[in-house]
Amino acid sequence: MGVPESPTKILYGVYDADGGAWGELKYILGKASGLAHCSLCDLTHGWSLKGKKDWLNFANQSGLEFKFVHRNEQSNELAKVTSSRIPCIAQKVKGSYSVIVTPDELQACEADIGKFKIVLASKLGGV
């Protein structure tokens, strides 16, 4: 008999930006000049390095565990699923990743936590 899955869901957010000092600097310069954009970055932290207060409140109260990675920091397994679909939110179920919030859906949220909660709840059956 297997161990029941934890009621806490782990979601993986994949940013459309590279990690590391050079990746961060490149993204900030690109965003400032209008040449780079990541709707997941806009949702979770915007211009703040600490994170947006409304995002942090949601993440802390949701009962979900979020793990965020930049596109160059993904595991090979995750990258196979998200390669052309970032930024996104993915979930790992029974050893397999799947994208549950697409780039278009993140963009449609317009960096609004309320809109994101509605999209995420529709994907997870309530949050």
pLDDT of 114 strictly over 80: yes
CA separation for the pair 31, 114 (Å, rounded) = 24
User: pLDDT value at position 98?
Assistant: 93
> What pLDDT sits at residue 1?
39
**Contact at 8 Å (CB) between 81 and 99?**
yes
Nearest to 112 by CA among 31, 34, 58: 58
Q: How confident is the model at residue 5 (pLDDT cuts 50, 70, 90)?
A: very low
Domain boundaries defined on the chain: 9-124
> HEC states along the chain?
CCCCCCCCEEEEEEECCCCHHHHHHHHHHHHHHCCCCCHHHHHHCCCCCCCCHHHHHHHHHCCEEEEEEEHHHCCHHHHHHHCCCCCEEEEEECCEEEEEECHHHHHHCCCCHHHHHHHHHHHHCCC
Each residue's pLDDT tens digit, 33-81:
877 789 999 999 876 656 688 999 999 898 899 999 999 999 999 999 9
Residue 7, pLDDT score: 46
- Dist CA 37 CA 34 (whole Å): 7
pLDDT of residue 2: 39
HSE-up of residue 51 (Cα within 13 Å, Cβ side): 11
pTM recorded for the entire structure: 0.85
Q: In the chain, pLDDT over 70 holds for what percent of residues? A: 88
- Residue 69: CA atoms inside 13 Å, Cβ hemisphere, count? 16
Looking at per-residue pLDDT, the higher value among 25 and 41 belongs to: 41
pLDDT at 115 over 70: yes
* pLDDT tops 80 at residue 30: no
- pLDDT for 3: 34
